Structure 1
Amino acid sequence: MPPWLKRYRKEAKPLAVPSWRKWLAVGATAALVAFVALQRTEAAHLLRLLGRTDWRWLPAPVLCEALFQSNEATIYWLMYRVMGHRTRLPRVIRLTLAAAFVNRIAPSAGVSGTALFTERMARVGVPPSATVTVNLARYVLDYGAFALILGCGMIYLSLHHELTPVEIRAAATLGALILALLVVAAVLVSMRSALVAVVTALARALNRGVARLGVGNAVSVDAAAAGVDEALQAVAVLAHSGRSTAALVCMGFFIHLFDLAGLWSVFMAVGHPVHLGVLVAGYGLAYLAGFVSLVPSGLGVFEASMAVVYASLGVHLAQAVLVTLLYRLFSLWMPVLAGYAALQITLKEDRPNAQAL
């Protein structure tokens, strides 16, 4: 191992839980969003709607969110089993919640959560290449299902409402990116030996460049090639596992179906049933706005987009705002609290050779 890497590992600090100042900033942002919403929709009217809410419907979005999180964890767990790595589901559920919490407070395109997942699973003998592959495959399932749902929403809007140029360009761009991701993944799997050769050449070139600085090798060429080969082999196993592959694809769609069911339950609680096309259109465009924003979890951007879209589709603005705030309470803030607790438990696991719980 290079000396500089040994020094880095000695000096590296454990992952820290966000301080109270960051939580204060998040709370202040949420309060500002709520204040603006109240000012724009007449606070008295919104409070009257809240008072008329049918609270018997509210356990439904809680259940849907629990099913959503359990489904995500089961996807990870099943992928690990297909690849030959045995780990118990409770551990994967805890890591899923903790990784989701890290991703939501630190917008890094999922890299921070994947790093946490990789480091913790390595403690129980799962190679980092396997965990990275599992996380990438999960994102492919998620975004592939979302692209289909967004496409259905856009078709509904094109048939019943006039689409704006911004909505068309944004949806087309996201669809093109997802399609490109799937094509690249298929090409990489089919050209495994060529990709390993490319990675080997890049690693050697990097080592030659670093050697001129007198630092030593930056990366092990053999380890880099072996890691890429293991990852591509794992992808091939996932893609050709028969019934398990079909089950994973179905579970990928349930990621968003559980979310849509929770949103529909909130509409029912508010007393404003909506057409399935309206439900899907508002959901898809709101998440699209959240994806492209630089704010953690699309905070503020998501809420404004969902409320505006539903208001433009015939929902009263006050009801649209109330539905959005209640939905985000269940789909964002409740998992954040659960993820924070899961992260606290995860960070206390300091047994490198512990068995999977």
Structure 2
Amino acid sequence: MQQWDKQQISKKHTWRFRAWFAGILLLSGLIISVAHVGEIEQFVQLASKAHSAWLIAALLLQIATYFCVARIWQMALGQGGMYSSMLSLAPLGVAKLFSDQAMPSGGMTGTVFFFAALKRRGVPPDLCMGMMLVSLISYYAAYLIVAMASIVLLWFYHAINPWIISIYFCFCLVAVIIPVGTLMVKHLTKREIPKWIKRVPGALNLLQPFAEAPLDLLRNPMLIITTILLQGAIFILDSITLWVMLLAIGQHVSFFVAFPSFVLASIVTTIGPIPLGIGTFEAACVTMLRLLGIQLEPALTATILLRGFTLWLPMLPGLWLTRRELR
């Protein structure tokens, strides 16, 4: 009888957590949408003037990014002995993106949502952590590869300068320290963790789950290689979206102009202090496009259109999907 009571209490607490978490996310999403309603209106106005065929292409490209994410999760689940269709996992990608946007927290909000959603679907906690570890390692590995590729392109275009090199250097440090540090934590006891890490608010709570994550998935080379390729494909698809936006407003430029511009803007967002990179992404992307020969007005227009598809448009279905997943 006592065991049954404990289960009922646990279920009640879980339901309350989901209800509160969903409510906070929805409220935060509403606040962000209202605060940036001007940018959303600007996106709508610019989109109405662009060629519709290119806009449809951009939408399909963004949908493809969510299926890449879904494929990563599907493969990781399959290695853990569970199967889930890509159609059922793709909405999780949209909802996770909305969670990260609604409550800026370095991706932790999306992680909390991801665990809650998978737990609701009956996925064991250790498999969830293994999936997140694979996702983390493959993400930064792919990020480093596309960063190096963009540097080569900038060198080819003679667009390398000290501030670009400094940005890439800082990013490389972050991209190496985070995954390596996460793996190191697995081999350290709580007493052995450096004191400066313990002083960071919430750092132990963030690292502890990764420290307990199983390494079985990481020992599968084919899984790691495939997930790195899929993570890289997401960067490519986002870069193509920027290229398509340039084409939509009559700027017939090479994809190799859009690619390094998007990558550097993403890097600035990653290492910058501004949540979501609102303002910093746009400034970096426009600056790079200008550096590579695009005039200011079309560079700004294409960037705003890109952000509409990658940032603002997913928030609409994200509201509904988040509520559904945490119900």
Q: Is the TM-score greater than 0.5?
A: yes
Preserved contact between residue 282 and residue 304 of structure 2 (Cα < 8 Å): yes
2:289 corresponds to which residue? 310
2:4 corresponds to which residue? none
2:77 corresponds to which residue? 80
Deviation string, structure 1 residues 1-27 (Cα, Å, up to 9, x no partner) = xxxx98x95985621144568635544
Q: Secondary structure at the match of 2:313?
A: helix
Answer yes or no: is 1:173 the counterpart of 2:179: no
Q: Which amino acid aligns with 1:82?
A: Q
Q: Which amino acid aligns with 1:339?
A: G
Q: Determine the C-alpha separation between the residues in 1 that align with 2:58 and 2:88.
A: 24
1:271 corresponds to which residue? 250
Q: Determine the C-alpha separation between the residues in 2 that align with 1:293 and 1:182.
A: 18
1:14 corresponds to which residue? 20
- Structure-to-structure mapping, 1:312-351, within 5 angstroms: 312-348=291-327
Q: Secondary structure at the match of 2:121?
A: coil
Q: Which amino acid aligns with 1:60?
A: A
Q: Determine the C-alpha separation between the residues in 1 that align with 2:170 and 2:62.
A: 29
Q: How far is 1:56 from its partner?
A: 2.1
1:126 corresponds to which residue? 123
2:100 corresponds to which residue? 103
Answer yes or no: is 1:28 the counterpart of 2:35: yes
Q: Determine the C-alpha separation between the residues in 2 that align with 1:178 and 1:108.
A: 18
Answer yes or no: is 1:296 the counterpart of 2:275: yes
Q: Determine the C-alpha separation between the residues in 2 that align with 1:34 and 1:107.
A: 22
Which segments of 5 or more consecutive residues in structure 1 lack a partner in the other structure?
A: 38-45, 204-218, 349-357
Q: Secondary structure at the match of 1:306?
A: helix
Deviation string, structure 1 residues 48-89 (Cα, Å, up to 9, x no partner) = x974x4332221111000000111112112111112233343
1:33–1:118 distance in 2 versus 1, CA, 3 Å: closer
- Structure-to-structure mapping, 1:20-99, within 5 angstroms: 23-29=30-36, 31=38, 51=49, 53-99=50-96
1:34–1:148 distance in 2 versus 1, CA, 3 Å: farther
Deviation string, structure 1 residues 97-120 (Cα, Å, up to 9, x no partner) = 212111112221211111111122
Q: Which amino acid aligns with 1:146?
A: Y
Runs of 4+ displaced beyond 4 Å: 8-13, 17-22, 32-35, 184-188
Q: How many residues align?
A: 301
Which segments of 5 or more consecutive residues in structure 2 lack a partner in the other structure?
A: 1-8, 194-204
Q: Which amino acid aligns with 2:117?
A: R
Q: Secondary structure at the match of 1:249?
A: helix
Aligned match for 1:135, one of 132, 137, 156: 132
Among all aligned residue pairs of Structure 1 and Structure 2, give the percentage whose two residues are the same amino acid: 21
Q: Determine the C-alpha separation between the residues in 1 that align with 2:319 and 2:119.
A: 21
Aligned match for 2:226, one of 235, 247, 266: 247
Q: How far is 1:182 from its partner?
A: 4.3
Preserved contact between residue 105 and residue 297 of structure 1 (Cα < 8 Å): no
Largest Rg, 1 or 2: 1
1:40 corresponds to which residue? none
1:244–1:162 distance in 2 versus 1, CA, 3 Å: closer
Q: Secondary structure at the match of 1:272?
A: coil
| TM-score, normalised via structure 1 length | 0.73
Q: How far is 1:177 from its partner?
A: 2.1
